[in-house]
Amino acid sequence: MGTGQQAATRDVITLKGSSSIVGEFFSYAVNSILFQRGLYPSEQFDRVKKYGLTMLVSHEDKVKGYISAVTSQIADWLQTGKVQRVVMVISSLATKEVLERWNFLIETDRDATETGATKEKSDKEIMQEIQAIMRQITSSVTFLPHLEESCSFELLVYTDTDLEAPTSWEESDPRLIKKAQEVKLRSLNTKIHKIDSLVAYKVDDDSNV
């Protein structure tokens, strides 16, 4: 009886809960992409157990700071329901050309933001979906072209025009890739937020893929 009740409360997803789950997911996803794509030396990463997997998280101060600042802001904004997508842009340090774009499209359930209704979904299911996406990110190295040069990354957030942004955020251009090849990855659904992920990468003309 008690356990039944506990299970029931845990399966309930609130807007705040979903936002924090999604925000956390972004933080781990970004770290994972940084490691897998080799943007930073592998010594800068620590292993953490999360989502039933071993996740690699950067312990480098500046990188950690940037990611946590952005993802916590995203989590806040998710509660407003005004976030449309989050994009991680990987561009060459030297030429500033965008080589990869990791798109996470977000759909927020209107009911939750407007009326504060709660949804039901088991934690386990959500975790499995996140696990699947993380695994896909890892396996993406098999088809993504090798990043030859030193690259930098950046996180862009697509929001509604009426969203108030603190002064620490500035407007940006979408930083698109000219001739992009796209691969759709799995999606995550917390019943309040639905995240569709896809990766777009620059097709190398001379690459013999």
Partner 1 sequence: MAALISSNGGKDPAATPAKKLPQIDRFIPDRSAMNFDVANMLVLGKENSQLQQQPLRSDCSQEEYKKQLAENLLRDANIFQKKSRILAFKSKPPPPPEGFERESRLLYSENTAPGASKPRRMFRQIPQAPERTLDAPEILDDYYLNLLDWGTNNILAVALGHTVYLWNATTGGIEELMQVSEDDGPVTSVSWAPDGKHISVGLNNADVQLWDAFSLRQVRSLKAHTARVGSLAWNGPILSTGGRDNVIFNHDVRIREHVTGKMAAHQQEVCGLKWSPSGQQLASGGNDNLLYVWDAAAAASRGNSTYLHRLDEHQAAVKALAWCPFQSNLLASGGGTADRCIKFWNTHTGACIQSVDTASQVCALQWSKHERELLSSHGFSQNQLILWKYPSMVKMAELTGHTSRVLHMAQSPDGYTVASAAGDETLRFWQVFGTPDTTKATAVRTKASSSALNSRCIR
Going by the DSSP 8-state scheme, the letter that residue 38 receives in this structure is: T
Question: Contact between 52 and partner 1 (CB under 8 A)?
Answer: no
Question: Contact between 171 and partner 1 (CB under 8 A)?
Answer: yes
Nearest Cα to 196, choosing from 105, 75, 84, 100? 105
Residue among 171 and 205 whose Cβ is closer to partner 1: 171
CB 83 within 8 A of CB 95: no
Two tokens at 166? 């603190």
Two tokens at 36? 């897998």
Residue from the set 6, 68, 122, 172 that interacts with partner 1 by CB under 8 A: 172
Residue among 13 and 151 whose Cβ is closer to partner 1: 151
CA angle 202, 204, 207 (to 5 degrees): 145
Write the binding mask 97 to 136 for partner 1: x where contact by CB under 8 A, - elsewhere.
----------------------------------------
Question: Contact between 183 and partner 1 (CB under 8 A)?
Answer: no
Residue from the set 13, 57, 67, 195 that interacts with partner 1 by CB under 8 A: 67
Q: Which residues contact 189 (CB under 8 A, 6 or more apart)?
A: 121, 126, 129, 195
Write the binding mask 69 to 88 for partner 1: x where contact by CB under 8 A, - elsewhere.
xx--x----------x----
Residue from the set 5, 9, 54, 208 that interacts with partner 1 by CB under 8 A: 54
CB 53 within 8 A of CB 139: no
Q: Which residues contact 148 (CB under 8 A, 6 or more apart)?
A: none
Query: Which residues are near partner 1 by CB under 8 A?
Result: 36, 38-43, 45, 47, 54, 56, 60, 62-63, 66-67, 69-70, 73, 84, 93, 138-139, 141-142, 146-148, 150-161, 163, 165, 167-174, 176
